[in-house]
């Protein structure tokens, strides 16, 4: 049975841990509001851009664009993984790593060669031990860098696509649904696919310049918007998961402190009772 001093030390240790988890919860809560607002505000823009693309595509007879053209390369696949740099955020990283690994193994079982561009230290540490080639890695990513990272990634993907270095590019990230829910997804990023809109409604619009010229501007913009949204969703999901995890840890620490305090009081009461018995027994012996 642990001594009173051991129990006191453990109570002090758990209390210090609770202070840390509570502080981390408050920090994540403050960061979450800003990240959530940014991720939510960007969604209508992406949805509107997609509808505009559908209308333009419906009005263009023959669509020709490098981002829509399927490369003559059926063996090489590129996966862009966007994760977090830090842990202590519950299953945020593990669920995405698991989902991405399943898809990578499926592609490899089909004879595909998988290469990766990884964002985040957690993903880098994990995929460094897998049978995949990491052609580019980025760590210590903060929201202020997202716009620049998006532009660099879009430029790199287009360059590699033009060089026929891959046949398909996928984007792996956690889609932010709510504070409690972040869904891991692996969406095809390139070549892009735009569903044909309603041709009847498309006939009500006149485009100047031509629809093809508009697509030359809108398609790269749409790709950058998807990547940027993935960065925003990742940041919001990470902060939400960390806030939830730290809240659970704080409550668990409180429950542990209560149990240890009860254990300490019982042990102290037992020690006092033993001392009293010894005193009474000694007095009776006299």
Query: So where are the chain's domains?
Result: 28-243
Alpha-helical runs (H) found in 131-185: 146-162
The pLDDT, as a whole number, for residue 196 is: 59
C-alpha distances in Å from residue 239, one per residue of 20, 42, 62, 158, 200 = 16, 17, 45, 31, 44
Mean pLDDT of 228-257: 94
Contact 237, 176 (CB under 8 A): yes
Q: How confident is the model at residue 200 (pLDDT cuts 50, 70, 90)?
A: very low
CA angle 240, 241, 243 (to 5 degrees): 65
CATH superfamily of 28-243: ATP synthase, F1 complex, gamma subunit (3.40.1380.10)
Helix (H) or strand (E) holding 182: strand 182-190
pLDDT digits (tens, 9 = 90+) for 234-247: 999 999 999 999 99
Segment among 100-109, 158-167, 174-183, 272-281 with least mean pLDDT: 272-281
Segment among 72-81, 184-193, 198-207, 229-238 with least mean pLDDT: 198-207
Cα dihedral value 4, 6, 12, 15, nearest 10: -100
One of 80, 89, 118, 253 is an active-site residue; which one? 89
Residue 2 DSSP label: -
Q: How confident is the model at residue 202 (pLDDT cuts 50, 70, 90)?
A: very low
pLDDT digits (tens, 9 = 90+) for 77-122: 999 999 999 988 988 999 999 999 999 999 999 999 999 999 999 9
pLDDT digits (tens, 9 = 90+) for 55-77: 777 666 566 777 777 777 888 99
Contact 180, 262 (CB under 8 A): no
Three-state SS letters, 98-125: HHHHHHHHHHHHCCCEEEEEEECHHHHH
Active site residue 89: yes
Mean pLDDT of 159-175: 91
pTM (two decimals): 0.85
């Amino acid at each position: 049975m642990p001594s009173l001093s051991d129990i006191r030390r453990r109570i002090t240790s758990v209390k210090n841990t609770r202070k840390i988890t509570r502080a981390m919860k408050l920090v994540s809560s403050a960061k979450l509001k800003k990240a959530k607002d940014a991720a939510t505000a960007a969604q209508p823009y992406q949805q509107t851009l997609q509808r505009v693309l559908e209308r333009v595509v419906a009005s263009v007879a023959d669509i020709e664009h490098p981002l829509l053209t399927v490369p003559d390369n059926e063996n090489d696949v590129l996966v862009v993984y966007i994760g977090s740099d830090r842990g202590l955020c519950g299953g945020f990283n593990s669920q995405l790593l698991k989902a991405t690994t399943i898809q990578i193994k499926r592609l490899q079982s089909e004879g595909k060669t998988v290469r990766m561009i990884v964002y985040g230290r957690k993903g880098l540490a994990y995929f460094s031990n897998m049978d995949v080639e990491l052609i580019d890695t980025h760590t210590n990513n903060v929201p202020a860098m997202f716009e620049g990272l998006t532009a660099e990634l879009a430029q790199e993907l287009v360059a590699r696509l033009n060089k026929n270095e891959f046949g398909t590019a996928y984007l792996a990230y956690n889609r932010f649904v709510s504070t409690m829910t972040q869904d891991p997804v692996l969406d095809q990023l390139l070549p892009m696919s735009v569903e044909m809109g309603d041709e009847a409604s498309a006939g009500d619009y006149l485009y100047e310049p031509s629809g093809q010229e508009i697509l030359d501007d809108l398609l790269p913009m749409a790709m950058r918007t998807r990547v940027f949204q993935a960065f925003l969703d990742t940041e919001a999901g990470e902060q939400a998961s960390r806030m939830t995890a730290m809240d659970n840890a704080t409550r668990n620490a409180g429950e542990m402190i209560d149990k240890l305090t009860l254990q300490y009081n019982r042990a102290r009461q037992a020690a006092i009772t033993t001392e009293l018995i010894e005193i009474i027994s000694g007095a009776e012996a006299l």
